[in-house]
Amino acid sequence: MTSRAPRIAAWLAFLLPASLLGGALISQYVFGLYPCEMCYWQRWPHWAALALGGIAVLSVRRVQGLGVAMAALAAVAIAISGLIGGFHAGVEYGWWEGLTRCATAAPVGGTTDDVLNSIMSNPLVRCDTAPWSLFGISLAGYNFLLSLAGAGAIYVLLRRRKTGTIAA
Protein backbone atom coordinates (compact mmCIF):
# COMPACT_ATOMS: atom_id res chain seq x y z
CA MET A 1 0.00 0.00 0.00
CA THR A 2 1.45 3.33 -1.00
CA SER A 3 1.41 6.28 1.32
CA ARG A 4 -0.72 9.35 0.68
CA ALA A 5 2.02 11.47 2.23
CA PRO A 6 3.49 12.72 -1.10
CA ARG A 7 0.05 13.92 -2.25
CA ILE A 8 -0.58 15.64 1.08
CA ALA A 9 2.89 17.24 0.90
CA ALA A 10 2.21 18.45 -2.65
CA TRP A 11 -1.11 19.99 -1.63
CA LEU A 12 0.49 21.62 1.41
CA ALA A 13 3.30 22.96 -0.81
CA PHE A 14 0.62 24.58 -2.98
CA LEU A 15 -1.94 25.71 -0.40
CA LEU A 16 0.44 27.22 2.18
CA PRO A 17 2.02 29.84 -0.11
CA ALA A 18 -1.38 30.46 -1.73
CA SER A 19 -2.88 31.17 1.69
CA LEU A 20 -0.01 33.36 2.87
CA LEU A 21 0.08 35.35 -0.37
CA GLY A 22 -3.70 35.65 -0.30
CA GLY A 23 -3.55 36.98 3.25
CA ALA A 24 -0.83 39.46 2.29
CA LEU A 25 -2.79 40.71 -0.71
CA ILE A 26 -6.03 40.98 1.27
CA SER A 27 -4.26 42.90 4.03
CA GLN A 28 -2.82 45.23 1.41
CA TYR A 29 -5.80 45.84 -0.86
CA VAL A 30 -8.71 45.40 1.55
CA PHE A 31 -7.31 46.64 4.87
CA GLY A 32 -4.78 49.17 3.56
CA LEU A 33 -1.68 47.64 5.18
CA TYR A 34 0.83 48.66 2.57
CA PRO A 35 3.94 46.46 2.34
CA CYS A 36 7.45 47.70 2.88
CA GLU A 37 10.41 46.61 0.79
CA MET A 38 11.17 43.66 3.07
CA CYS A 39 7.54 42.52 2.85
CA TYR A 40 7.98 42.29 -0.91
CA TRP A 41 11.14 40.26 -0.39
CA GLN A 42 9.08 37.69 1.54
CA ARG A 43 6.55 37.40 -1.27
CA TRP A 44 8.97 36.39 -4.03
CA PRO A 45 9.86 32.94 -2.60
CA HIS A 46 6.15 32.32 -1.95
CA TRP A 47 5.36 33.05 -5.60
CA ALA A 48 8.03 30.53 -6.61
CA ALA A 49 6.69 28.01 -4.09
CA LEU A 50 3.17 28.50 -5.43
CA ALA A 51 4.31 27.62 -8.95
CA LEU A 52 6.40 24.66 -7.74
CA GLY A 53 3.55 23.45 -5.51
CA GLY A 54 1.14 23.67 -8.44
CA ILE A 55 3.43 21.51 -10.54
CA ALA A 56 3.75 19.10 -7.61
CA VAL A 57 -0.03 18.77 -7.25
CA LEU A 58 -0.49 18.20 -10.97
CA SER A 59 2.31 15.65 -11.29
CA VAL A 60 2.41 13.72 -8.02
CA ARG A 61 -0.11 11.09 -9.17
CA ARG A 62 1.36 10.69 -12.67
CA VAL A 63 5.07 11.03 -12.08
CA GLN A 64 5.51 10.73 -8.33
CA GLY A 65 9.26 11.48 -8.42
CA LEU A 66 8.63 14.80 -10.16
CA GLY A 67 5.85 15.68 -7.73
CA VAL A 68 8.05 14.88 -4.75
CA ALA A 69 10.94 16.92 -6.19
CA MET A 70 8.69 19.92 -6.87
CA ALA A 71 7.16 19.73 -3.39
CA ALA A 72 10.66 19.57 -1.90
CA LEU A 73 11.75 22.64 -3.88
CA ALA A 74 8.56 24.43 -2.84
CA ALA A 75 9.40 23.61 0.80
CA VAL A 76 12.83 25.19 0.33
CA ALA A 77 11.27 28.33 -1.16
CA ILE A 78 8.73 28.48 1.69
CA ALA A 79 11.52 28.13 4.24
CA ILE A 80 13.49 30.93 2.54
CA SER A 81 10.47 33.22 2.78
CA GLY A 82 10.13 32.27 6.44
CA LEU A 83 13.76 33.13 7.12
CA ILE A 84 13.35 36.49 5.42
CA GLY A 85 10.23 36.99 7.55
CA GLY A 86 12.22 36.15 10.67
CA PHE A 87 14.86 38.69 9.73
CA HIS A 88 12.17 41.28 9.02
CA ALA A 89 10.44 40.55 12.35
CA GLY A 90 13.76 41.07 14.13
CA VAL A 91 14.06 44.46 12.44
CA GLU A 92 10.51 45.34 13.51
CA TYR A 93 11.18 44.28 17.11
CA GLY A 94 14.42 46.30 17.17
CA TRP A 95 16.67 43.26 17.68
CA TRP A 96 18.92 44.35 14.79
CA GLU A 97 19.04 46.98 12.08
CA GLY A 98 17.54 46.22 8.71
CA LEU A 99 19.06 46.62 5.30
CA THR A 100 16.53 49.26 4.31
CA ARG A 101 14.51 51.88 6.13
CA CYS A 102 11.43 52.57 4.05
CA ALA A 103 9.76 52.05 0.69
CA THR A 104 7.11 53.66 -1.39
CA ALA A 105 5.09 52.46 -4.35
CA ALA A 106 5.81 55.59 -6.36
CA PRO A 107 6.42 55.01 -10.07
CA VAL A 108 9.66 56.28 -11.52
CA GLY A 109 9.45 58.34 -14.70
CA GLY A 110 7.91 61.48 -16.08
CA THR A 111 8.84 65.01 -15.16
CA THR A 112 10.34 65.99 -11.85
CA ASP A 113 7.01 67.42 -10.72
CA ASP A 114 5.20 64.19 -11.66
CA VAL A 115 7.67 62.08 -9.68
CA LEU A 116 7.51 64.44 -6.68
CA ASN A 117 3.69 64.48 -6.71
CA SER A 118 3.62 60.71 -7.01
CA ILE A 119 6.00 60.30 -4.05
CA MET A 120 3.99 62.70 -1.93
CA SER A 121 0.67 60.99 -2.71
CA ASN A 122 1.87 57.44 -2.00
CA PRO A 123 2.22 56.07 1.52
CA LEU A 124 5.69 55.83 3.00
CA VAL A 125 6.09 52.45 4.67
CA ARG A 126 8.86 51.80 7.18
CA CYS A 127 10.42 48.35 7.44
CA ASP A 128 11.24 48.78 11.12
CA THR A 129 7.64 49.44 12.21
CA ALA A 130 5.03 46.68 12.30
CA PRO A 131 1.76 48.05 10.90
CA TRP A 132 -0.25 45.29 12.59
CA SER A 133 0.30 42.65 15.25
CA LEU A 134 -1.68 40.00 17.10
CA PHE A 135 -0.48 38.74 20.50
CA GLY A 136 2.68 40.80 19.96
CA ILE A 137 3.57 39.00 16.72
CA SER A 138 3.77 41.00 13.50
CA LEU A 139 2.79 39.80 10.04
CA ALA A 140 6.46 39.12 9.31
CA GLY A 141 6.64 37.08 12.53
CA TYR A 142 3.61 35.04 11.50
CA ASN A 143 5.17 34.46 8.10
CA PHE A 144 8.29 33.20 9.89
CA LEU A 145 6.32 30.83 12.12
CA LEU A 146 3.88 29.51 9.52
CA SER A 147 6.42 29.18 6.73
CA LEU A 148 9.00 27.27 8.77
CA ALA A 149 6.34 25.04 10.32
CA GLY A 150 4.85 24.37 6.88
CA ALA A 151 8.22 23.68 5.27
CA GLY A 152 9.02 21.30 8.13
CA ALA A 153 5.69 19.51 7.69
CA ILE A 154 6.29 19.11 3.96
CA TYR A 155 9.75 17.70 4.68
CA VAL A 156 8.37 15.19 7.22
CA LEU A 157 5.62 14.12 4.81
CA LEU A 158 8.13 13.62 2.00
CA ARG A 159 10.31 11.45 4.24
CA ARG A 160 7.55 8.89 4.70
CA ARG A 161 8.06 5.51 3.10
CA LYS A 162 5.49 3.27 1.45
CA THR A 163 4.45 1.88 4.81
CA GLY A 164 3.62 5.35 6.10
CA THR A 165 6.42 5.50 8.68
CA ILE A 166 8.99 8.23 8.86
CA ALA A 167 12.31 7.29 7.31
CA ALA A 168 15.45 7.50 9.42
Domain enclosing residue 57, as ranges:
5-158
Helices 64-92/139-158 angle, 10° precision: 150
Our count of domains for the chain comes to 1
Q: Answer yes or no: is 164 within a domain.
A: no
Q: Answer yes or no: is 79 within a domain.
A: yes
Q: What CATH number corresponds to the domain at position 128?
A: 1.20.1550
Q: Are 142 and 130 in contact (CB under 8 A)?
A: no
pLDDT at 168: 44
Tens digits of residue pLDDT in 109-161: 667 777 666 666 666 666 666 676 668 777 788 888 999 999 999 999 988 75
Whether 105 shows a pLDDT value over 60: the answer reads no
Q: Answer yes or no: is 166 within a domain.
A: no
**Which among 51, 40, 42, 41 has a CA at the least distance from the CA of 18?**
51
Q: Answer yes or no: is 168 within a domain.
A: no
Q: Answer yes or no: is 60 within a domain.
A: yes
How is the chain split among helix, strand and coil, in percent rounded to 5? 65, 5, 30
Q: Answer yes or no: is 83 within a domain.
A: yes
**Which among 101, 86, 104, 102 has a CA at the least distance from the CA of 145?**
86
Half-sphere exposure of 130 (CA within 13 A, CB side): 22
pLDDT at 103: 52
What DSSP letter does each residue of 21-34 carry, written as one string?
A: HHHHHHHHHTT---
pLDDT at 12: 93
pLDDT at 93: 81
Alpha helices in 60-133 (DSSP H): 64-92, 112-121
Give the best-scoring range by mean pLDDT among 35-39, 104-108, 109-113, 118-122: 35-39
Helices 37-59/139-158 angle, 10° precision: 20
**Which among 130, 127, 111, 128 has a CA at the least distance from the CA of 119?**
111
Q: Answer yes or no: is 57 within a domain.
A: yes
